[in-house]
Structure 1
Amino acid sequence: MSGSSGQVKGWCPGALRPMRSGDGLIVRVRLTGGDLTPERAAALAEAARRFGNGLVDLTSRANLQMRGVSDDTLQPLLDRLAELGLLDASAAAEQVRNVIANPLTGLDPSAPIDIQPLIRALELRLIGNERFHILPAKFGFLLDGGGVLSLDGIEADIALRAEDDGHFRLEAGGETLGWVRVEEALEAALGVAERFLALRQPDERRMRDMVERLPLPSPGGVDHSSWNGLGSTRSVGVGWEAEGVEVPTPPRPSADPPPPGESRMRHLAGPHAAGFFTAAAPFGRLDAGQLEGLAAIAARHGATLRLTPWRSILLAPLAVDVTAEVSSLGLVVDPGDPRLAIAACPGSPSCLSGEAPAQADAARLAPVLAGFVEKGASVHVSGCAKGCARRAPASITLVGQAGRYGIAFDADSKAPSEAEPMSLGELTAFLAKRLQHFPEKLGDFSIKKMR
Structure 2
Amino acid sequence: MTSSTISAASQPPLSKIEQAKAELCGLELAPRLAEMGREGWEALDEATLTIRLKWLGIFFRPVTPGRFMLRLRLPNGVISAEQLELLAEAIDRCGEHGSADITTRQNLQLRGLLLEDMAPLMVALETLGLTSRQSGHDNPRNITGNPLAGIDPEEIVDTRPLVEAIQARLLGPAGPRNLPRKFNVAVGGAPDSFLLHNDLAFLPAEHNGELGFTVLVGGFFSAQRNELAVPLGLWLRAEQLADFTLALLHHYERAGNRQQRNKSRLMYLIDELGIDAYRAELVAAFAEPVLSHAGSHLVNRAPRSGLGVHGQKQEGLHWVGLHVPMGRLEAASMLELAGLARTYGSGELRLTEAQNALIVNVPGDRLEALLAEPLLQRFRPDPSTLQAEAVSCTGNAYCSFALIPTKSVAQQVLEQLERRIELPEAVRMHWTGCPNACGQPYMGQIGLMGAKARKDGEMVEAAKLFLGGSMGAEPKLAELHHKGVPLSDLPDVLEQLFVEHFGARRREPAAS
Give TM-score scaled by structure 2 length.
Answer: 0.69
2:240 aligned partner: 184
Deviation at 1:129, TM superposition (A): 4.8
User: Is 2:311 the counterpart of 1:273?
Assistant: yes
User: Is 2:304 the counterpart of 1:264?
Assistant: yes
User: Is 2:413 the counterpart of 1:365?
Assistant: yes
Partner of 1:43, secondary structure, is: helix
Give CA deviations for 1:138-194 in whole Å, capped at 9, x if unaligned. 2021122336xx522453111222236421111112112221222333333333333
1:11 and 1:393 map into 2 onto residues whose CA distance is: 31
1:197 and 1:116 map into 2 onto residues whose CA distance is: 26
1:2 counterpart (9, 12, 32):
32
| Identity %, equivalent residues | 23
User: Is 2:192 the counterpart of 1:128?
Assistant: no
Deviation at 1:55, TM superposition (A): 1.0
Contact 2:450 2:464 in 1 (8 A): yes
Contact 1:386 1:414 in 2 (8 A): no
1:193 and 1:365 map into 2 onto residues whose CA distance is: 41
Q: What is the letter of the counterpart of residue 167 of structure 2? A: E
Partner of 2:186, secondary structure, is: strand
Give CA deviations for 1:268-327 in whole Å, capped at 9, x if unaligned. x22112321212211111111111111111111242112222212221122233333274
CA pair 49-337 structure 1, distance change in 2 beyond 3 A: farther
Contact 1:347 1:357 in 2 (8 A): yes
Partner of 2:303, secondary structure, is: helix
2:440 aligned partner: 390
User: Is 2:202 the counterpart of 1:160?
Assistant: yes
CA pair 156-372 structure 1, distance change in 2 beyond 3 A: farther
1:328 and 1:191 map into 2 onto residues whose CA distance is: 45
1:171 counterpart (216, 241, 247):
216
Contact 1:19 1:27 in 2 (8 A): no
Specify every segment of 5 or more residues in structure 1 that has no aligned partner in the other structure, as ranges. Answer: 219-232, 443-451
Partner of 2:155, secondary structure, is: coil
CA pair 14-28 structure 1, distance change in 2 beyond 3 A: farther
Q: What is the letter of the counterpart of residue 358 of structure 1? A: T
2:386 aligned partner: 338
Contact 1:393 1:410 in 2 (8 A): no
Contact 1:27 1:67 in 2 (8 A): yes
Which moved further from structure 2: 269-278 or 399-408?
399-408
Give CA deviations for 1:176-221 in whole Å, capped at 9, x if unaligned. 2221222333333333333333432223432223334456669xxx
2:183 and 2:356 map into 1 onto residues whose CA distance is: 22
1:446 aligned partner: none
CA pair 236-316 structure 1, distance change in 2 beyond 3 A: farther
1:222 aligned partner: none
Contact 1:341 1:373 in 2 (8 A): no
1:79 and 1:189 map into 2 onto residues whose CA distance is: 28
2:461 aligned partner: 404
Equivalent positions of 1:33-432 (< 5 A) are 33-51=76-94, 53-87=97-131, 95-96=139-140, 98-108=142-152, 110-130=154-174, 132-136=176-180, 138-146=182-190, 150-153=192-195, 155-163=197-205, 165-173=210-218, 174-177=229-232, 178-202=234-258, 203=260, 204-214=263-273, 238=283, 240-243=285-288, 245=289, 247=291, 257-258=300-301, 262-265=302-305, 267=306, 269-274=307-312, 275-303=318-346, 304-320=348-364, 321=367, 322-325=370-373, 327-328=375-376, 330-369=378-417, 371=421, 374=424, 377-392=427-442, 394=444, 395-401=446-452, 404-410=461-467, 418=483, 422-424=486-488, 426-432=489-495
**Aligned-pair Cα RMSD in Å:** 3.9
Partner of 1:428, secondary structure, is: helix
Q: What is the letter of the counterpart of residue 381 of structure 2? A: V
Partner of 2:69, secondary structure, is: strand
1:92 and 1:161 map into 2 onto residues whose CA distance is: 25
Contact 1:382 1:400 in 2 (8 A): no
Deviation at 1:62, TM superposition (A): 1.4
Contact 2:447 2:467 in 1 (8 A): yes
1:282 and 1:234 map into 2 onto residues whose CA distance is: 42
CA pair 214-189 structure 1, distance change in 2 beyond 3 A: farther
Contact 1:96 1:127 in 2 (8 A): no
Contact 1:356 1:403 in 2 (8 A): no
Which moved further from structure 2: 317-326 or 173-182?
317-326
Give CA deviations for 1:37-71 in whole Å, capped at 9, x if unaligned. 11111121111111463311011111101111123
1:93 and 1:377 map into 2 onto residues whose CA distance is: 31
1:226 aligned partner: none
Specify every segment of 5 or more residues in structure 2 that has no aligned partner in the other structure, as ranges. Answer: 1-30, 219-228, 313-317, 453-458, 469-476, 505-512
CA pair 107-93 structure 1, distance change in 2 beyond 3 A: farther
CA pair 44-99 structure 1, distance change in 2 beyond 3 A: same
2:11 aligned partner: none
2:290 and 2:241 map into 1 onto residues whose CA distance is: 12
1:131 and 1:144 map into 2 onto residues whose CA distance is: 22
Contact 1:12 1:137 in 2 (8 A): no
Deviation at 1:404, TM superposition (A): 2.4
1:230 aligned partner: none
Give TM-score scaled by structure 1 length.
Answer: 0.77
Q: What is the letter of the counterpart of residue 22 of structure 1? A: V
2:60 aligned partner: 19
1:246 and 1:201 map into 2 onto residues whose CA distance is: 27
Give CA deviations for 1:398-447 in whole Å, capped at 9, x if unaligned. 5243652144343999969545x5252x4334444x357623579xxxxx
Contact 1:98 1:139 in 2 (8 A): no
Give CA deviations for 1:6-43 in whole Å, capped at 9, x if unaligned. 86459995654323253431111112332211111112
Give CA deviations for 1:380-404 in whole Å, capped at 9, x if unaligned. 4444444332252643525243652
1:67 and 1:289 map into 2 onto residues whose CA distance is: 14
Contact 2:105 2:353 in 1 (8 A): yes
Contact 2:55 2:133 in 1 (8 A): no
Name the count of aligned residue pairs. Answer: 416
Deviation at 1:365, TM superposition (A): 0.5
Contact 2:169 2:243 in 1 (8 A): no
